[in-house]
A and B are shown apart, each in its own frame.
Chain A
Amino acid sequence: EPEVTQTPSHQVTQMGQEVILRCVPISNHLYFYWYRQILGQKVEFLVSFYNNEISEKSEIFDDQFSVERPDGSNFTLKIRSTKLEDSAMYFCASSVGTVNQPQHFGDGTRLSIL
């Protein structure tokens, strides 16, 4: 069964450094998402992406964050200058559509900011 893949599984970065999290969505999916889960908290929506542009972003997704689909398969989340509070699990998801279509999630990247 096709799946969303994320790399790396764990990323350790010094505060203030840039980090790029990578995702390969399911191949026939058109909608892409990033979510995060801080330890002990809910899974939170960050951003959705369709047709090479952001569809919606949450208040968490400030100017430090950006997303890109650099080629036909990858979908990336960049955090420009990481902060301690960016430490979380970051999940990528994709869906074939938005109307009554489930989003399928990758296994996440654990981001640890030191």
Chain B
Amino acid sequence: DQQVKQNSPSLSVQEGRISILNCDYTNSMFDYFLWYKKYPAEGPTFLISISSIKDKNEDGRFTVFLNKSAKHLSLHIVPSQPGDSAVYFCAASEAYSSASKIIFGSGTRLSIRP
């Protein structure tokens, strides 16, 4: 079941540059999208989300873009910092379902090099 896909298992970016993480989804019923960051031995930490009525949401260094027609979203981190090195999960849910379970992608490991 590949409803949420992150096709890049890893990404290496130089410190100070922009990191762009991509995600595709197949379920047209998804209308709420989230990005989580995960360090080893910790749980996923919520970063930023976007509902389907928007195409962009910004929070500090993090911006999420949503292209509904392409069923694609991306997370931009600028400038990238060493502490951003982690696994990033794209996730989606049907906001108006009874329980809003989250469907996760497989994650992209971001490494910020000095």
Residues of A at the B interface (CB closer than 8 Å) are: 4, 6, 31, 33, 35, 42-45, 48, 50, 55-56, 58, 91, 93, 95, 98-108
Chain B positions within 8 Å of A43 at CB level = 44, 89, 104
Q: How many residues of B are in contact with the other chain, CB < 8 A?
A: 25
Which B residues touch A102, using CB under 8 A? 34, 46, 49
- Whether A103 lies near B95 (C-beta < 8 A) is no
A-B contact pairs, 27 of them (CB 8 A): A4-B43, A33-B101, A33-B102, A35-B102, A42-B107, A43-B89, A43-B104, A45-B101, A45-B103, A48-B100, A50-B99, A55-B98, A55-B99, A91-B43, A91-B44, A93-B102, A98-B100, A99-B32, A99-B96, A100-B51, A101-B100, A102-B34, A103-B46, A105-B43, A106-B43, A107-B41, A108-B43
Question: When the two chains form their complex, are residues A100 and B49 in contact, meaning their CB atoms are under 8 A apart?
Answer: yes
Q: Are B44 and A56 within 8 A (Cβ)?
A: no
Query: A105 near B106 (CB under 8 angstroms)?
Result: no
Contacts of A58 in B (CB 8 A): 101
Question: Could you tell me the distance between the alpha carbons of A56 and B36 in the complex, rounded to whole angstroms?
Answer: 22
| Contact (Cβ within 8 A) A45 B102 | yes
User: Which residues of B are at the interface with A, using a C-beta cutoff of 8 A?
Assistant: 32, 34, 36, 41-46, 49, 51, 89, 95-107
The distance from the CB of B43 to the nearest CB of chain A, in whole angstroms, is 4
Q: Which residues of A contact B43 (CB under 8 A)?
A: 4, 6, 91, 105-108
Contact of A48 among B46, B99, B103 (CB under 8 A): B99
Contact of A107 among B34, B42, B100, B101 (CB under 8 A): B42
* Chain A residue at minimal CB-CB distance from B34: A102
Residue in chain B with minimal CB distance to A108: B43
* B107 to chain A: closest residue by CB: A42
